[in-house]
Amino acid sequence: MIFGWLKRYVPRGIYGRAALILVLPVVTLQLVVSVVFIQRHFEGVTEQMTRSVALEIDLLLERLETGGMAEVQDLAQTLEYTLRPVDAAAVPDTDLRRWFDFSGLVVIRTLKERLPGYRALVLPDNREVAFYAESAAGPVRLDFRRVRLSASNPHQLLVNMVFFGVLMTVIAFIYLRNQLRPITRLAHAAKAFGLGRHVPYHPSGAEEVRAAGRAFLDMRARIERHIEQRTLMLSGVSHDLRTPLTRLKLGLSMLDDADRMPLERDVEEMQRLLDEFLSFAGGDAGAAEPEPVDPGALLRCVAEDAQRAGKDVTVAVVDAPETVHLRPVAVRRALENLIGNAVRYGTRAEVSVRSSPGALVFSVEDDGPGIPGELRAEALKPFARLDPARNQDRGTGVGLGLAIAADVARAHGGSLHLGESDRLGGLCAELRLVR
């Protein structure tokens, strides 16, 4: 794009961009008006007034050639000038003016063009002017008021323009902020819903914003209704399937041990698979509200439970805040799934937690075969069984461990990232949760 480089300098937020949209035209308008007024109108007025003064001074200098000094001084007093002779040494070598007196440049240029006897012009302030010229009677000095050369108080226009420009910009920004507030509220509600939180929201603002708000509420209601219907349906399936499984357990309890134990293992496996299916499909990752949790303590507790179960799990790094708002049950379940996969396909696992800008990262590393890069996206899908990446004879999983962990990460506004472990050489699963 032609103006693509401007993106680095444009504000990211909607308030910053709105302020830029407001301030930029106002500043541009003020600059244009200032340039036009100062360089054309004000400069032209100053030049016209200086020409009039030059005609009067030229008249006084001509009278000095034909009349006496006393007569010319009387005429100069009538014209509101103070005329007196000076020594040649008293005449300044150069013109004197203040550096910010831009109208003085126009005055000096015009007098030099109009008066052949011009020697020097002194502009000490905004009140008095001292003009030195060469005449028939020798060097003379004329003192008169500055208001005869340029308009008085030229800064008043600039001050008024800046003051009212700032005032109107502030008023416009207050009004625009009220118009943008419904958009920020809608964005906050949508972001919270993406993180699994339900924030009260009602449409407000302009008609287009209200339409977007109503569409968001309809979408949120449909999603929540879909989740609720799926949960109710699966709850019914759970109830219907648990009853025959219970009858099977009662029937198997009456068999001999040699015949009963293999069948009981099959029934327990069916029970475990059913629980896993229902847990994944029920969407319990976003059911509970976030609560303050110590991520380091949560990670150590999960690792200790895995160690008591005979798994080789160690806590490597804990570098996280003492309190973070998250769903501890869902995060614990995701970590247990990742640790279970790690020790199932490897011999040991290392877990860690660290804080990054805007996120909390739980890492689970193992020394197993890992997952090839081209199959990692497939591994996050439900019921995915990657035989080339993992030896399925080592476990009885159905391909929901990583999918459940990814679902938990999405419920917290984050993601599950699969990579290679630098320390153990196997798989490194990072559970990134937005803080």
pLDDT score of 58: 92
pLDDT score of 95: 93
pLDDT score of 111: 93
Question: Quick check: 11 pLDDT over 80?
Answer: no
For the chain, what's the residue count? 435
| Beta-carbon count within 10 A of 171 CB | 10
pLDDT score of 359: 84
pLDDT score of 392: 45
Question: Quick check: 237 pLDDT over 90?
Answer: no
Q: What's the pLDDT tens digit per position in 276-302?
A: 666 665 555 445 677 888 888 888 998
pLDDT score of 83: 93
- Predicted model pTM: 0.51
Lowest average pLDDT, out of 15-24, 58-67, 250-259, goes to 250-259
pLDDT above 90 coverage of the chain, percent: 17
What mean pLDDT is predicted for residues 262-287? 66
pLDDT score of 387: 54
Higher-confidence residue: 56 or 163? 56
Q: Is 346 exposed, middle or buried (0-12, 13-18, 19+ CB in 10 A)?
A: buried
Decide if 362 contacts 386 (C-beta within 8 A).
Answer: no
**In whole angstroms, what is the distance from residue 408 CA to residue 326 CA?**
10
Decide if 34 contacts 155 (C-beta within 8 A).
Answer: no
Question: Quick check: 249 pLDDT over 90?
Answer: no
How many alpha carbons fall within 13 Å on the CB side of residue 396? 9
What mean pLDDT is predicted for residues 335-364? 88
Mean pLDDT of the chain: 82
Decide if 431 contacts 409 (C-beta within 8 A).
Answer: yes
Higher-confidence residue: 82 or 324? 82
Q: What's the pLDDT tens digit per position in 75-112?
A: 999 999 999 999 988 999 999 998 878 788 889 999 99
Higher-confidence residue: 273 or 150? 150
**In whole angstroms, what is the distance from residue 133 CA to residue 57 CA?**
9
Q: Is 65 exposed, middle or buried (0-12, 13-18, 19+ CB in 10 A)?
A: exposed
pLDDT score of 390: 47
Decide if 43 contacts 106 (C-beta within 8 A).
Answer: yes
Q: What's the pLDDT tens digit per position in 25-63?
A: 878 887 887 777 766 767 888 889 999 999 999 999 999
pLDDT score of 115: 92
